[in-house]
């Protein structure tokens, strides 16, 4: 089977790498078509998957016809039993190229029409409705994402399969001391640390976080903030933070896990999501999170955490208040972090996600796996 993927970085790439790893271990022959030179291309090649260069950009535009034809030629050569298209661009090109001739799974990873406005959003909704006719199953990562699609008029066969994370890789440090925890990421000891991991872009809301930060510092004067990641807004966000010595931007990092462990609180004030990976990874590391109240956010939190950990999107005052409450003392953070870790272990282990996706493949195309184990004791 073949994964068609654009973008080749960020959360989508991490989801695909985890799926590919599990599918190869289960005995499937797996191919991935994605932009060359990306994190995804290198990672899936290292896992042993067949990898094909598909030169596709993020946005639709004049290159769309060429990108669709290129993917169509690739699919005719590979002849997969099933195609799993990830995100709007791959979903558009794959479904236009295949038009139902091969069992097709589409996973939006947040709907395309949420990222735009006006006429562009209307066109995106129209395409999603039309594209559903060539889709055997739309996989949503949260019930909220499915409801958003239904409200937009997308009529399809749905499966809701929550994102999962590697709970062995993303786990509490287990070593001694707060000082050692911060030293892992090159920080010295200091005040409570807030970490935001995500692509630096409008979707993830780092601008809202920077707008909230002066109020956080007024409540907790020694608080520190680190933005982990890279993206199109890096220069603008860096300029906005340049005058505040309590704020640091790291750029892209190979492994965010040490940053989660170093944090006292992890925050992701997104404007839209399907179900963000960063909060799940942070909770797996035993850290409390503060997240924007967008698709998938409520479903990702442990029961009872909504009042403390969920804030309206684009509301700096509410975000500052939530962070101030959690930074006020270590004991609430500790109890929230312990509950968060147990919640992820019980509901969001990547092996559970892989097993659900494998079951879907069997249903649609008779794809058989030699082994795909559920998490032990869960």
% residues pLDDT > 70 (the chain): 95
Distance CA 263, CA 225 (A): 9
pLDDT score at 52? 97
The set of residues, in sequence order, having a beta carbon less than 8 Å from that of 44 and lying 6+ positions away, is 16, 17, 20, 30, 32, 34, 51
Q: What are phi and psi of 349, to 5 degrees?
A: -70, 135
Output the pLDDT for position 374. Answer: 46
Residue 149 token pair: 């699609």
Rounded Cα distance, 114 and 339, in Å: 31
The CA distance from 7 to 58, in Å, is 6
The confidence score (pLDDT) of residue 183 equals: 81
Neighbour tally for 219: CB within 10 Å: 14
Percentage with pLDDT > 90 across the chain: 86
Residue 167 has pLDDT above 60, yes or no: yes
Task: Determine how many CB atoms are found less than 10 A away from the CB of residue 191.
Answer: 14
CB 1 within 8 A of CB 361: yes
Q: Tokens 């669709």 correspond to what residue?
A: 68
C-alpha distances in angstroms, 351 versus 168, 218, 282, 296, 348? 11, 43, 18, 19, 8
Q: pLDDT tens-digit profile of 346-373?
A: 999 999 999 999 999 999 987 655 444 4
User: How far, in Å, CA of 126 to CA of 122, rounded?
Assistant: 6
| Distance from C-alpha of 170 to C-alpha of 278, rounded to nearest angstrom | 10
Are 157 and 343 a contacting pair, CB within 8 Å? no
DSSP count for the chain of H helices, then E strands: 16, 13
Nearest of 272, 291, 269, 271 to residue 280 by alpha carbon: 291
Q: What is the pLDDT of residue 312?
A: 97
Rounded to whole angstroms, how far apart are CA atoms 238 and 198? 15
Output the pLDDT for position 278: 97
CA distances from 315 to 47, 119, 181 (A): 41, 26, 31
Q: In what order do the strands lie in the sheet with 193-197?
A: 247-251, 224-228, 193-197, 265-268, 289-292, 310-311
Q: How confident is the model at residue 61 (pLDDT cuts 50, 70, 90)?
A: confident
Average pLDDT over residues 317-332: 94
How much is the average pLDDT of 128-154?
96
Residue from 28, 21, 26 nearest 43 by CA: 21
2-164+349-365 CATH choice from 3.30.1360.40, 3.40.50.150, 1.10.3720.10, 3.40.50.2000: 3.40.50.2000
pLDDT at 114: 93
Taking Cα atoms as reference points, which of 211, 243, 241, 217 lies closest to residue 227? 241
Q: Which residue has the tokens 């309590």?
A: 246
Q: What digits encode the pLDDT tens for the residues 214-258? A: 999 999 999 999 999 999 999 999 999 999 999 999 999 989 999
> What band does 179 get if pLDDT is binned at 50, 70 and 90?
low
Asked if 9 and 38 touch (Cβ cutoff 8 Å), the reply is yes
Has residue 184 got a pLDDT over 80? yes
* Cis peptide bond prior to 7, omega within 30° of 0: yes
Report the distance separating Cα 341 and Cα 287, nearest Å: 8
What pLDDT is recorded for position 367?
Answer: 61
Q: What DSSP character marks residue 141?
A: S
**Of 3.80.10.10, 3.40.50.300, 3.20.20.80, 3.40.50.2000, which CATH number belongs to 178-347?**
3.40.50.2000
Instruction: Give dist(CA 193, CA 95) in Å, integer.
Output: 45
Quick one: average pLDDT of 151-177?
90
- Tallying the residues shown for the chain, one arrives at 378
Does this model's pTM top 0.85? yes
* CATH 3.40.50.2000 placement within the chain: 2-164+349-365, 178-347
pLDDT in tens, 279-318: 999 999 999 999 999 999 999 999 999 999 999 999 999 9
**DSSP letter (8 states) at residue 355:** H
Do residues 259 and 195 lie in contact, with contact meaning Cβ atoms separated by under 8 Å?
yes
Tell me what the mean pLDDT of segment 169-195 comes to: 82
Q: Is the pLDDT of residue 337 over 50?
A: yes
Q: Which of 57-66, 80-89, 163-172 has the lowest mean pLDDT?
A: 57-66
Kindly tell me if the per-residue pLDDT of 378 is higher than 60.
no
Residue matched to tokens 């082994």: 371
* Nearby residues of 96 by Cβ (< 8 Å), 6 or more positions away: 68, 134
């Amino acid at each position: 089977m073949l994964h068609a993927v654009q973008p080749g970085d960020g959360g989508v790439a991490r989801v695909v790498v985890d799926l590919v790893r599990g599918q190869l271990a289960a005995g499937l022959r797996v191919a991935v078509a994605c932009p060359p030179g990306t994190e995804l291309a290198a990672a899936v090649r290292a896992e042993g998957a067949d990898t094909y260069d598909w030169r596709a950009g993020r946005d639709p535009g004049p290159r769309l016809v060429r990108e669709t034809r290129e993917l169509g030629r690739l699919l005719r050569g590979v002849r997969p039993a099933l195609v799993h298209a990830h995100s709007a661009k791959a979903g558009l090109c794959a479904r236009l190229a295949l038009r139902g001739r091969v069992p097709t799974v589409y996973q939006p990873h947040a709907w395309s029409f949420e990222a735009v406005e006006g006429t562009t959003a209307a066109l995106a909704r129209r395409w999603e409705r039309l594209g559903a006719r060539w889709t055997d199953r739309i996989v949503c990562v949260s019930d909220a994402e499915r409801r958003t699609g239904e409200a937009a008029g997308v009529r399809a066969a749905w499966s809701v399969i929550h994102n999962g994370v590697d709970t062995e890789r993303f786990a509490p440090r287990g070593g001694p001391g707060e000082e050692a925890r911060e030293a892992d990421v090159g920080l010295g000891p200091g005040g409570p640390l807030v970490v935001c991991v995500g692509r630096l872009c409008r979707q993830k809301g780092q601008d809202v976080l920077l707008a909230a930060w002066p109020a956080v510092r007024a409540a907790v004067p020694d608080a520190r903030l680190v933005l982990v990641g890279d993206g199109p807004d890096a220069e603008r966000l860096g300029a906005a933070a340049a005058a505040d010595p309590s704020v640091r931007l790291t750029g892209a990092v190979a492994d965010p896990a040490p940053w989660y462990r170093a944090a006292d609180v992890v925050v992701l004030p997104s404007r839209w999501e399907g179900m963000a990976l960063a909060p799940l990874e942070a909770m797996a590391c035993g850290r409390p999170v503060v997240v924007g109240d967008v698709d998938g956010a409520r479903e990702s939190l442990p029961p009872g955490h909504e009042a403390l950990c969920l804030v309206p999107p684009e509301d700096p005052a509410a975000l500052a208040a939530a962070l101030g409450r959690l930074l006020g003392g270590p004991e609430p953070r500790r109890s929230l972090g312990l509950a968060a870790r147990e919640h992820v272990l019980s509901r969001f282990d990547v092996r559970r996600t892989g097993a659900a996706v494998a079951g879907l493949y069997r249903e649609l195309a008779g794809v058989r796996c030699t082994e795909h184990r559920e998490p032990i004791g869960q």
